[in-house]
Structure 1
Amino acid sequence: MSLAFLFPGQGSQAVGMGVELAEAFEPARRVFEEVDEALGQHLSRLMKEGPEADLTLTENAQPALMAVSLAVVRTLKIDFGVDVTAAAFAAGHSLGEYSALAAAEALSVADTARLLKLRGQAMQRAVPVGEGAMASLIGPKTDVALAEQAAAAGAELGVCVVANDNNQGNVVISGAKAAVDRAIEKAKELGARAIPLNVSAPFHCPLMQPAADEMAAALADAKIIAPRVPIVANVTARPVHDPEEIRRLLVEQVTGRVRWRESVQWLAEQGGVTRFAELGAGKVLTGMAKRIAPDAEGVALNGPADLESFAASL
């Protein structure tokens, strides 16, 4: 059995996430304390108590999701003797790539928290609220080709691109609001369902270039070492090992497409992965993995019982 660990991205956050882990495991509590200390913020209290609107803010959701993922990583290692770096590969969806790098010990938890806080703030600053939009194109007819055709129609009015190639039947577009609205109309003509997303900014499109510039400056000063497990990067859908390439791809990722379908396909077909374990909040990536690689097993590790059964299965 070849195992890959997956780390969720924005959208998987929920008030109460990580609470059971913190109550059950000292290593999880310590991770939440480290993140609070690094940010100078009671993020763990916000995660526990809300309000949801504050947790959903990009600058809070990103480090919070990372904290839950790393709480699982730390607990697996200390309390269950399962070292994430013994996996064949790791990958994370958008901000989850930072979680994967921290799990692989390429970045410290504290630095990752600070980088994600800045990343969220920079993304929010890049485009005034209301000027950008994102939409999910779904349905059996939806694939990258259809999404690109819809985005091309929208691009006649402004920036509009494919932002997330999640899996067959689920592709996200992003850009200027008028352009995305036009792309939604085109997608419906082509036979897809289109759902506008409740997001604060148009992520993973060229409008995010100011945020990419901010992250380039921050990442230039960040200490990044070679990961102890290969990370399959969003931008290339291929493993990355070199710290300088990791730095460059994290900057490109801000404006670039999340090639998640291709990443999971590579893991299953070229990487030989037969089991995917999603570490952190929610089960979104587990569902995607099962659709992309139906012959592989998928499991989400959210709470104490999940960790116990997973460790026992190894």
Structure 2
Amino acid sequence: MTTAFMFPGQGSQAVGMGKSLAEAFGPARAVFEEVDAALGQKLSGLMWDGPDAELTLTENAQPALMAVSMAVIRVLEAEHGITVANTASFVAGHSLGEYSALAAAGTFSLGDAARLLKIRGRAMQSATPVGTGAMAALLGLDFATAAAAAAEAAQGDVCQAANDNSDGQVVVSGSKAAVERCAEIAKARGAKRAVMLPVSAPFHCALMQPAADAMAEALATVKMTAPVVPVVANVGAAPLSEPAAIRQSLVAQVTGTVRWRECVAFMVAHGVTRFVEIGAGKVLTGLSKKNASEATAFAVGAAEDIAAAAAQIRG
């Protein structure tokens, strides 16, 4: 089977994530210690003991999710000889997960990935005043219809498709009033439901331009090397291997649409038959079953998952 490794985005965090890995495996402990040192923050303690409200803060959730993904990667390598280079044809990550994918593929050092995500989280949180933006999931509409509903709802405000997760699951983002208008327009156009999301900022829309500027500045000074396998980038839904192009794509990603459905379709079209979600939660595994029903998909995120996942990957 041809394998792709995928890395989860924000929303997959939960208090306790990564703890079993740290207790069972030295390489996982080393990842969490390195991230704590890079940030000058006991992030691992927050991940394992909470409080949940603090872990959910964007500036904490983003590096924390990357740390769990990297802990899984290091354990698979140390315990079973499974690496990105010898196992995966592609890597891809949902929003912040793209940084996890790039760290796993060697583009960023672990410490740099943690610092970049701390900057990204803070910049995204502070890009708009609290309460002025919103996001909504439109269920039961295809992407073109959802994007048209967003355009109609804008009326001089910002409202755009933020995440194309799967057929029938598109997230819109923008000014609060415009997103609320979009929810009503979407229902009129046939959406089964329009659900306002409990987010702290309107991610992946033009309101995030200050955060995109901050990431352009941060990425300009970070050492980047070519990934050991191509990363299928969110904004282009196509593989990238050149650091300059990856840098440009990561900046564009802050305000652009996460084209996840198309990313998966690209990988399937190029022979991927198995998707392995690396890190916390199983969101992308569920989306893979919608986007690539013929492919195998499973998640590995805790100590008890490691041996079974390694056996499946080898198989």
Task: Report the TM-score when normalising by structure 1.
Answer: 0.98
How far off its partner does 1:149 sit?
2.0
Q: State the secondary structure of the residue aligned to 1:162.
A: strand
**Contact 2:84–2:228 (8 Å) recurs in 1:** no
Give the total of aligned pairs.
311
Provide Cα deviations, 1:143-181, integer angstroms capped at 9, x if missing partner: 102211210121114100000000011100000011101
Aligned equivalent of 2:69:
69
1:250-261 counterparts in 2 under 5 A?
250-261=250-261
Which stretches in structure 1 are left out of the alignment for 5+ residues?
none
Aligned equivalent of 1:241:
241
Aligned equivalent of 2:47:
47
What's the % identity of the aligned pairs?
63
Aligned partners of 1:169 and 1:21: how far apart in 2? 35
Structure 2 residue identity aligned to 1:85: A
Aligned equivalent of 2:2:
2
Aligned equivalent of 2:182:
183
Q: Does 2:178 correspond to 1:149?
A: no
Task: Report the TM-score when normalising by structure 2.
Answer: 0.98
Runs of 4+ displaced beyond 4 Å: none
Aligned partners of 2:85 and 2:131: how far apart in 1? 41
How far off its partner does 1:304 sit?
1.9
1:175-254 counterparts in 2 under 5 A?
175-192=174-191, 193-254=193-254
Aligned partners of 1:154 and 1:129: how far apart in 2? 21
**Contact 1:85–1:103 (8 Å) recurs in 2:** no
Structure 1 residue identity aligned to 2:150: A
Q: Does 2:146 correspond to 1:170?
A: no
Aligned partners of 1:203 and 1:257: how far apart in 2? 9
How far off its partner does 1:85 sit?
2.1
Aligned equivalent of 1:280:
279
Provide Cα deviations, 1:9-66, integer angstroms capped at 9, x if missing partner: 0000000111111111111111000000000000000000000000000000000000
Structure 2 residue identity aligned to 1:95: L
**Contact 1:207–1:255 (8 Å) recurs in 2:** yes
Aligned equivalent of 2:301:
302
Q: State the secondary structure of the residue aligned to 1:136.
A: strand
Aligned equivalent of 2:127:
126
**Contact 2:7–2:97 (8 Å) recurs in 1:** yes
Aligned equivalent of 1:38:
38
Structure 2 residue identity aligned to 1:114: R
Aligned partners of 1:186 and 1:128: how far apart in 2? 25
Which stretches in structure 2 are left out of the alignment for 5+ residues?
none
Aligned equivalent of 1:19:
19
Provide Cα deviations, 1:97-125, integer angstroms capped at 9, x if missing partner: 00000000010000000000000000011
Q: State the secondary structure of the residue aligned to 2:190.
A: coil
Aligned partners of 2:311 and 2:145: how far apart in 1? 43
**Contact 2:85–2:229 (8 Å) recurs in 1:** yes
**Contact 1:28–1:74 (8 Å) recurs in 2:** yes
Structure 1 residue identity aligned to 2:168: G
Q: State the secondary structure of the residue aligned to 2:198.
A: coil
Structure 1 residue identity aligned to 2:179: V
Aligned partners of 1:84 and 1:75: how far apart in 2? 12
Q: State the secondary structure of the residue aligned to 1:88.
A: strand
**Contact 1:104–1:227 (8 Å) recurs in 2:** yes
**Contact 2:162–2:203 (8 Å) recurs in 1:** yes
Aligned equivalent of 1:265:
265
Q: State the secondary structure of the residue aligned to 2:174.
A: strand
Provide Cα deviations, 1:249-295, integer angstroms capped at 9, x if missing partner: 000000000000000000001x2000000000000000101110100
Aligned equivalent of 1:292:
291
Provide Cα deviations, 1:188-221, integer angstroms capped at 9, x if missing partner: 1112110001111100000000000010000000
Aligned partners of 2:158 and 2:73: how far apart in 1? 38
Structure 2 residue identity aligned to 1:242: E
Q: State the secondary structure of the residue aligned to 1:163.
A: strand
